[in-house]
């Protein structure tokens, strides 16, 4: 019998990954209760202290549409403050190595990011988004696709002048909640368009859990055949159908090195209700049951790649603790299995053992650790008839 390690079986699979956190932006945008500014600062800071080096901070779009982020400037200002930098220094963290991203779906939000940058509290990176299916794109942005591409090109030029990177998101890769099936080749073309107009990287979004592992592997193989620089690509999976861990494995096998996740698998469509009032959000929710909505879970993802022997840079136990705290912050049980069950047991639980095994083995004349009758062959041999 031969033993194969993962990298022999899957030669394109990375030995090291980058995992960005998007809890405070994408995770909180779906909450129907305002999350306090102090809580946002706390989780951003603690995730950075736990090893995160790429983090989404807020949404700079209209607070009228998504009032969850009405405190955007205060949150950004804290992450550029002397107090935060001193706290980083005490923990051996270089804040200049942390990439702060703000979502800016439309040009006014990009202009706002540039203004913040000029005031010394702006982001390192912003994000705009297209969907390959135009009805979904129109629902998110209110523009046609050609109209939006022109706007994005303009915004990238502005960001270049201001020293801000632009990430271009491609959505509805594996399907649209409005019109159904989509074509993978369209998403490949949209990825190339983003890079052609100057985007620094591309987020490939399974925005509603439509992806299957086989189609994820197929898509990212197509992407890396066309654009092999893995630093250009970020995988973004939702967990609606409990398929995200399988999608991660498929993306790893294809060679993708960058991923995004949220604590507790929080997030989804922007809330259309906040505290005691309806708000615009992006309209009606397109899911049937709010218990089964959210993103790839950071805690579970870290345990998954950690136990595969893939380097990730996080303090896993610290993140598991943050996951427990997040459940208190939002006031409900979240979707992390790792927060409940922890990491893989290596020591076991002897207290669960049934008493009497040692005595019975002695009575049977068996030695400790003996697993087969003493007069059997040391190694089993499969008979020819069983080999097929």
Q: Is residue 187 part of a domain?
A: yes
237-289 pLDDT per residue, tens: 998 778 899 999 999 999 999 999 999 999 988 999 999 999 999 888 877 77
Tell me: pLDDT of 234 over 80.
yes
159-185 pLDDT per residue, tens: 999 999 999 999 999 999 889 999 999
More confident residue, 210 or 223: 223
Q: Is residue 37 part of a domain?
A: yes
Q: Is residue 388 part of a domain?
A: no
CATH number at residue 337: 3.20.20.70
114-160 pLDDT per residue, tens: 999 999 999 999 999 999 999 999 988 999 999 999 999 999 999 99
- Give the percent of the chain with pLDDT over 70: 98
Tell me: pLDDT of 1 over 60.
no
Confidence of residue 291 (pLDDT cuts 50, 70, 90): confident
Specify the number of domains making up the chain: 1
Q: Is residue 5 part of a domain?
A: no
Tell me: pLDDT of 2 over 60.
no
Residue 150: its pLDDT value, please?
Answer: 98
Residue 13: its pLDDT value, please?
Answer: 95
Q: Is residue 255 part of a domain?
A: yes
Q: Is residue 383 part of a domain?
A: no
Q: Is residue 278 part of a domain?
A: yes
Domain that holds residue 91: 13-341
Residue 326: its pLDDT value, please?
Answer: 98
| Over residues 190-194, mean pLDDT | 98
Tell me: pLDDT of 6 over 90.
no
SS (H, E, C) the chain: CCCCCHHHHCCCCCCECEEEECHHHHHHHCCCCCCCHHHHHHHHHHHHHCCCCEEEEEECCCCCCCHHHCCHHHHHHHHCCHHHHHHHHHCCCCHHHCEEEEECCCHHHHHHHHHHHHCCCCCCEEEEEEECCHHHHHHHHCCCHHHHHHHHHHHHHHHHHHCCEEEEEEECCCCECCCECCCHHHHHHHHHHHHHCCCCEEEEEECCCCCCHHHHHHHHHHHHHHCCCHHHEEEEEECCCCCHHHHHHHHHHHCCCEEEEEHHHCCCCCCCEECCEECCCCCCCCCCCHHHCCECEHHHHHHHHHHCCCECCCCHHHHHHHHHHHHHHHCCCCCCHHHHHCCCCCCCCHHHCCCCHHHHHHHHCCCCCCCCCCCCCCCCCCCHHHHC
Q: Is residue 346 part of a domain?
A: no
More confident residue, 379 or 188: 188
Residue 348: its pLDDT value, please?
Answer: 74
Residue 293: its pLDDT value, please?
Answer: 83
């Amino acid at each position: 019998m031969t033993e194969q390690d993962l990298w022999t079986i899957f030669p394109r699979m990375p030995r090291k990954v980058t995992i960005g956190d998007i809890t405070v932006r994408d995770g909180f945008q779906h909450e129907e209760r305002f999350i306090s500014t102090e809580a946002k600062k706390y989780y951003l800071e603690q995730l950075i202290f736990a090893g995160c080096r790429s983090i989404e901070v807020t949404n700079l779009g209209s607070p009228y549409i998504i009032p969850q982020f009405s405190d955007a400037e205060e949150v950004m200002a804290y992450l550029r403050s002397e107090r935060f930098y001193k706290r980083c220094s005490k923990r051996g963290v270089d804040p200049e190595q942390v990439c702060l991203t703000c979502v800016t779906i439309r040009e006014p939000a990009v202009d706002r990011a540039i203004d913040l940058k000029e005031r010394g509290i702006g982001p390192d990176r912003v994000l705009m988004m297209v969907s390959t299916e135009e009805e979904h794109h129109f629902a998110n942005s209110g523009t046609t696709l050609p109209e939006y591409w022109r706007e994005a090109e303009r915004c990238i030029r502005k960001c270049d002048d201001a020293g801000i990177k632009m990430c271009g998101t491609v959505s509805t890769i594996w399907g649209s909640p409005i019109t159904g099936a989509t074509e993978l080749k369209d998403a490949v073309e949209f990825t190339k368009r983003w890079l052609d107009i100057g985007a620094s990287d591309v987020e490939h979004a399974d925005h509603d859990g439509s992806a299957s592992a086989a189609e994820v592997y197929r898509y990212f193989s197509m992407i890396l055949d066309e654009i092999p620089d893995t630093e250009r690509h970020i995988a973004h999976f939702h967990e609606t159908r409990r398929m995200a861990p399988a999608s991660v494995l498929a993306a790893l096998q294809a060679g993708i090195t960058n991923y995004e996740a949220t604590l507790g698998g929080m997030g989804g469509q922007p809330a259309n209700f906040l505290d005691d009032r309806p708000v615009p959000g992006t309209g009606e929710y397109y899911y049937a049951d709010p218990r089964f909505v959210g993103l790839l879970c950071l805690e579970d993802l870290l345990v998954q790649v950690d136990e595969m022997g893939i380097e990730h840079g996080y303090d896993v136990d610290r993140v598991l603790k943050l996951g427990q705290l997040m459940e208190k912050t939002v006031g409900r049980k979240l979707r992390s299995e790792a927060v409940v069950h922890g990491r893989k047991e290596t020591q076991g639980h002897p207290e669960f053992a049934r008493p009497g095994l040692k005595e019975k083995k002695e009575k049977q004349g068996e030695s400790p650790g003996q697993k087969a009758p003493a007069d059997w062959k040391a190694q089993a041999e499969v008979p020819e008839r069983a080999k097929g």
